[in-house]
Amino acid sequence: MEIAEDNSSPDLDRNGSCWATAKVDPAAHERKDIRIIFGYGSIMWRPALDYTSSFPARVKGYVRRFWQSSVDHRGTVDYPGRVATLLRCKDLPHTSSRDRAEGEQEGVWGMAYVLKDDGFDDTMRMLDIREKNGYTRTVATLYDADDKAIGEAFLYYGSIDISENPMYTGPGRCENDC
């Protein structure tokens, strides 16, 4: 079953401000068996997915921050908004030890959605477009409240590399964008 074409190096959209689709890392591209999406922001609040069930779960090694601008979901080109993004702890050299502990031990809570097999490829293509703004799709382990690994899911995380993701803002004041 084909998930999506190789999006390892997506083109910029017509504005040149963000990718036309999410990047898909090789680990995610090869996994044809996963049917779960982890939502931590807009996917959790407005899934717009064909799914059979959902359940609370968390991922480790990430922190959720409003360090991503958006000109398509929130805001405009002249007045970008901020959106929630997952950032990998290992990518954040300036992250405090408290933030690192939060991401590595506590993780980020969200909702896991079990997608329907019928239309799965179309759903993934739609998500790759929806999560285009500097995000990469990867695979992560899901954990329950008892810290038990309960499966794997696709998730979208943001890059902190400005050359890859011009929409990354870092921990600046939200008032400058919002």
Known catalytic residues are 131
**Residue 55, both tokens:** 């359940």
Beta strand 135-143 pairing with 23-24? parallel
State in Å, rounded, how far the first CA of the chain is from the last one: 41
Q: What is the dihedral of CA 7, 9, 11, 12, to 10 degrees?
A: 110
What is the C-alpha separation between 109 and 118, in angstroms, rounded?
A: 27
The number of beta carbons lying within 10 Å of the beta carbon of residue 71 is 18
Q: For 164, phi and psi rounded to 5 degrees?
A: -90, -35
Instruction: Report whether 134 contacts 164 (CB < 8 A).
Output: yes
Farthest-apart Cα atoms in the chain, separation: 46
